[in-house]
Structure 1
Amino acid sequence: MIKTIASRARHTGLALALALPLPALAQVAPAAIDDAAFQRCLQGITASAVQQGLPADRVQGLLGGVVADRSVLPLLDQQPEFTTPIWDYLAALVDAQRISDGQQRLAEHGALLQQVSASYGVDAATVVAVWGVESDYGRVFGKRPLLQSLATLGCEGRRQAFFRSELLALLKLLAAGDLSADGLTGSWAGAFGHTQFMPSTYARIAVDGDGDGRRDLVASIPDALASTANYLKRAGWRSGQPWGVEVTLPAAFDVALAGRSKRQPLSQWRALGVRPLGGGELQVDGIADADRAAVILPAGRNGPALLVFRNYDAIYSYNAAESYALAIATLANQLRGQPGLQTPWPTDDPGLDRAQRRALQQLLLARGHAIGEADGMIGSATRRAIAAEQTRLGWANADGRAGQKILAALKGETESRN
């Protein structure tokens, strides 16, 4: 999801202290006050939109029926890129199903992707990897009404100015006819379409990939893929260069040298003893000795080490989180038929891919837990069921996490019964 927002937020509602026992008033009054303030905020946004040249009746028609959805406010503090262990994050996003589906998309849209690559200099696998991570190749756009989410975030909580500007950008796109407001949904933060652009990014970067005179990243795959390539190009993508390589570090490597911003020429890393996984001298196709690179340790000294180049930065800029950039980069590699990361993560309880998550849910259902269908999506009901099973098994930490240990424990019980 292309965004520049900070990853932490807190919304605190108004608390009222009353001497008399008036529970109904105590419950209703704060909401009524908040709703009145929300409507005043929308009126101010409407006035700003009209001042910027949008027709008043059009803006009022778009915002007139919008009510606040305050469930988006806590999500500012819960972005999975920052709250999920990286081995869980990558296991869920870079699995056999997403790789297989991505390779099918590469074949299905081969001619289009060849044209996109020729126009923007970004290889097809990277463009498709962004598509796969952002929306599972168009399957998951986000279910939240876009105007409602952005209006709520623009009027309440932190970063209101940012979200108001995004709402204004969306109103302009709708007024220009690029998009239809009917049924327009997206993420809680306002990103939408096949590759999840924020409205302001959409306005700056989106291109008409199918030649119909509109930039529609919701209904047009050519528009979405061309716009994604255009974004990466403008973020500094260098055609013909890799994003990075997995490496081994010398035993005495100073971890203070690691970090995406701590760049040195490739020749300097070679002199410091950084080597390819297979050993030998550090040489990277497409990268000159003078090209600057950074060593990143996404899980610390005991996990995978990667030497990353300028194209990694372009991917990182799409959504500024290490886990996100690695998901795109490693998925792209595997779409090309290359291996994933070879160094194990420093954990004794790795994450689950979607097939394993479904298997875990089936085991929970068989034990009578009401978690809905086994869809591979780990929601609150599944986490509660896992925590209940962890408690039953006598585990000290019943955290509800879906990992290899709980899957193996429940599977082992089932097999022993059979």
Structure 2
Amino acid sequence: MKLSWYLPVLLSAGLLACSQSAANGTVVTKNAATSVPAATAPDNKPSFAQYAASLKKEAVERGYSPELVKQVFDSLQHYKSAVVADKKQPEFVETLDTYLPKRVSKQRIALARKFYKEHQAELAAIGRKYEVQPRFIMALWALESSFGKIMGNYAVPSALATLAYDGRREAFFRKEFFLALDILAAGHVKLADMKGSWAGAMGQSQFMPSAFMAYAQDGDGDGHINIWQSRLDAWASMANYLKTEGWDQSLTWGRQVTVPKQFDFSLVIPKGSKDRAQWLEWWSKSERSLTDWQALGVRTATGGDLPKRDIRAAMVMPDDEHGRVYLAYSNYQTLMHWNRSYYFVTSVGYLADLIISEG
């Protein structure tokens, strides 16, 4: 199943663990999962226990095994903290200049370089198979789950059932709930190990169940796809995501540039797109060849000429006219499909560049 437009919205709204909340730079930290008794129903709304009973009835009708149904629904609990997190509005608190040093810290850069060297053979094999540069796999692994160390401690079925019950996006989370049951039914992971963020993002790759169904891969060849405990499965799944969504290994993600005085900022992709389709429409209006950007006075971050390559790029400015300026290549679009946030994409590209730099 291909990710719907809604997942990038979830990502950019900070619904996944360790993810930037939006293109404004708010950082969402992972809260410990806290459960509460079955929610008390306001007005005419059914209780959480009653809602869970409706889910159980549907699970039986869908043909899940009695053992799985009993195991899942005996464990189901309501997470008040997930509801609070879902309704929390992001705040405008950062710029790239303050965000990047924290998100891509010296410690994270050092660890990314260390793991990149230690696992070079494994990463190279995955990179060849999926045609994705290994440094981008490492950068995503570092930023999504802190090298597989921070994956969230919410029971995924309970988190998804909680948010479906909350009702603000019931159809989306109800669908994700049953996809989570599909993953359990296939035997990829045990229920006790199916942990994730408060929004149900799972494992070292922080995939929603729909993303798991669309992109997850058996990277270690053991017959199961375990993005929680197998880094090879997680790496292969992330690489497959990028490749499936159009990654071009002949290109990097983009580059920071400078613009001249009196530059026409109408050429920059506007911020605040309502969905991916609108953002891609704005991209097409901004996109030009490097030769055209050069003629408009755009130069590298150090003031040099742009590469003399037949590449098209759009221009993005995460912090508007007084912030950093980037020429974004087609791989930028793929990263924006993963998380429709300029801050997230910049952090991935920035770290990927640093992994192979000598600094």
Structure 1: distance between partners of 2:350 and 2:57:
46
SS at match of 1:212: coil
Q: 1:61 to 1:134 in 2, by over 3 A?
A: same
Q: How big is each residue's C-alpha offset from its partner over 1:239-276, in whole Å with a ceiling of 9 and x where there is no partner?
A: 12111011111111122211162322333222222111
> 1:337 aligned to 2:357?
yes
CA contact (8 A) 2:9 2:339 kept: no
Q: Can you give the 5+ residue segments of structure 2 that lack an aligned partner in the other structure?
A: 15-37, 270-278
Change over 3 Å in CA distance of 1:8–1:96 after alignment to 2: closer
The residue aligned with 1:240 is 250
Q: Distance in 2 between matches of 1:338 and 1:48?
A: 56
With normalisation by structure 1, the TM-score equals 0.70
Query: Are the structure 2 counterparts of residues 8 and 208 from structure 1 closer, same or farther at C-alpha, using a change threshold of 3 Å?
Result: closer
**Alignment identity in percent?**
34
Matching residue within 329, 333, 339 for 1:309: 329
Partner of 1:275: 299
Q: Per-residue deviation at 1:338? A: 6.3
Match of 1:402 in 2: none
Tell which deviates more after alignment, 55-64 or 129-138.
55-64
**Secondary structure of the corresponding residue to residue 33 of structure 1:** coil
Higher relative contact order (CA 8 A, sep 6+): 2
What residue in structure 1 maps to residue 53 of structure 2?
43
Structure 1 position 161 matched with structure 2 position 185: no
| Shift in Å, 1:309 | 0.5
Relative distance call for 1:250 and 1:100 in structure 2 (3 A) is same
Matches within 5 A, 1:40-189: 40-78=50-88, 84-189=94-199
* Aligned mates of 2:67, 2:93 — CA distance in 1: 42
Q: Secondary structure at the match of 2:294?
A: helix
For residues 329-384 of structure 1, what are the alpha-carbon distances to aligned partners after superposition, in whole Å with 9 as ceiling and x for unaligned? 10101001167xxxxxxxxxxxxxxxxxxxxxxxxxxxxxxxxxxxxxxxxxxxxx
**Greater gyration radius:** 1
1:320 aligns with 2:340: yes
Q: Distance in 2 between matches of 1:183 and 1:81?
A: 33
Aligned equivalents of 1:81, 1:129: Cα separation in 2 = 25
Equivalence for 1:32: 40
1:97 partner letter? Q
Of stretches 53-62 and 239-248 in structure 1, the one that deviates more from structure 2 is: 53-62
CA deviation after TM superposition for structure 1 residue 145, in Å: 2.1
Specify the alignment match of 1:371 in structure 2: none
Is 1:266 matched up with 2:290?
Answer: yes
Who is 2:211 aligned against? 201
Give the total of aligned pairs.
Answer: 315
Give the Cα–Cα distance (whole angstroms) in 1 for the partners of residues 317 and 88 of structure 2.
Answer: 23
Amino acid at match of 1:73: V
Query: What does residue 211 of structure 1 align with?
Result: 221
2:234 to 218, 224, 229: 224
Moved more, 88-97 or 264-273: 264-273
Aligned counterparts of 1:157 and 1:71: Cα–Cα separation in 2 = 15
CA distance in 2 between counterparts of 1:149 and 1:95 reads 30
**Deviation at 1:314?**
1.2
Alpha-carbon distance in structure 1 between the residues aligned to 2:140 and 2:338? 9
Shift of 1:142: 1.1
In structure 1, distance between residues paired with 2:182 and 2:112? 33
> CA–CA distance in 2 between the matches of 1:175 and 1:267?
53
Could you give the per-residue CA deviations for residues 293-345 of structure 1, whole angstroms, max 9, x where no partner exists?
11111111111110001111111211111111111110101001167xxxxxx
Opposite residue 273 of structure 1, the aligned amino acid is G
Q: What is the RMSD computed on CA atoms of the aligned residues?
A: 2.5
1:79 to 1:104, Cα distance in 2 relative to 1, 3 A: farther
What letter matches 1:33 in structure 2? A
Residues 256 and 338 of structure 1, relative CA distance in 2, 3 Å threshold: farther
Q: Is the 8 A contact 2:13 2:90 kept in 1?
A: no
Deviation of the 1:51 alpha carbon: 3.4
Shift of 1:238: 0.2
Q: Distance in 1 between matches of 2:288 and 2:162?
A: 44
What CA distance in whole angstroms lies between the structure 1 residues aligned with 2:148 and 2:248? 27
Check whether the contact 2:39–2:78 (CA below 8 A) recurs between aligned residues.
Answer: no
Aligned 8 A contact 1:8 1:78 in 2: no
Q: Which residue of 2 aligns with 1:254?
A: 264
Q: What CA distance in whole angstroms lies between the structure 2 residues aligned with 1:210 and 1:81? A: 41
